[in-house]
Chains A and B, each alone.
Chain A
Amino acid sequence: GQNIDQPTEMTATEGAIVQINCTYQTSGFNGLFWYQQHAGEAPTFLSYNVLDGLEEKGRFSSFLSRSKGYSYLLLKELQMKDSASYLCAVWFSGGYNKLIFGAGTRLAVHP
């Protein structure tokens, strides 16, 4: 089966750094995505990791360890507009390719 876990809620202060963790157990792994979703809007693509290590993209970085079934999304220099849900999704390759999502982490950034 497939299981993806991430914290339900997190809070942080404007200008700070926050790390959102995601752990997964899946029988077929092809890569891991992070999406950002503001309330009532479409999930928007943030990052994709298929190999171990850190991928940096501006204020956002994503890390993957396939042996540990673990990823994190690092947000630096937090801004109020970063308040959103952050979705971890695994590409599952059992037969056909499809995305398996975690429940999402709701991040609240305070002044």
Chain B
Amino acid sequence: EAGVTQFPSHSVIEKGQTVTLRCDPISGHDNLYWYRRVMGKEIKFLLHFVKESKQDESGMPNNRFLAERTGGTYSTLKVQPAELEDSGVYFCASSQFSSTDTQYFGPGTRLTVL
């Protein structure tokens, strides 16, 4: 069974540009989560989808971040325009059930904003 995949693995962009990250969850997992880890800090929750609906987006830093999950399969996280402080590793995770079910993580996308 394929795990959670993320694309790209690395992205280097300039301040002010737009970047779109993609996450493909484990097949059949309705719950999809985005997290971010900035240098030296802990992994922090960004938002949670149940199928195509946003269940909780309390961790989204500001309105430059837009997450979508059309059709309830893969998800995208767009940053527009990117700022220096957006640099970090963006992780996606999925789980079959939402309530205390184990989340399986992807390898992350390392974003560097110059």
Contact = CB atoms under 8 A, between A and B. Distances in A.
A48 B43 contact: no
- Chain A's interface size range is 20 to 34
Interface string A12-38: 000000000000000000110101000
B7 interface: no
A48 B99 CA distance: 13
B48 A96 contact: yes
Contacts of A50: 100
Interface of A: 4, 30-31, 33, 35, 40-45, 48, 50, 87, 89, 91, 95-104
Contacts, number: 58
B80 interface: no
Contacts of B99: 30, 97
A99 B100 contact: no
A42 B4 CA distance: 9
Contacts of A30: 99-100
B46 to A, nearest CB: 10
Interface stretch (B14-22, B67-75, B102-110): B102-110
Contact of A97 (B40, B42, B44, B98): B98
B91 interface: yes
Contacts of A48: 100, 102
B107 A44 contact: no
A4 to B, nearest CB: 7
9 contacts: A4-B42, A30-B99, A41-B107, A45-B102, A48-B102, A87-B43, A97-B99, A97-B100, A99-B103
Interface in B37-56: 40-45, 48, 55-56
Contacts of B102: 33, 45, 48
A44 B105 contact: yes
A99 to B, nearest CB: 6
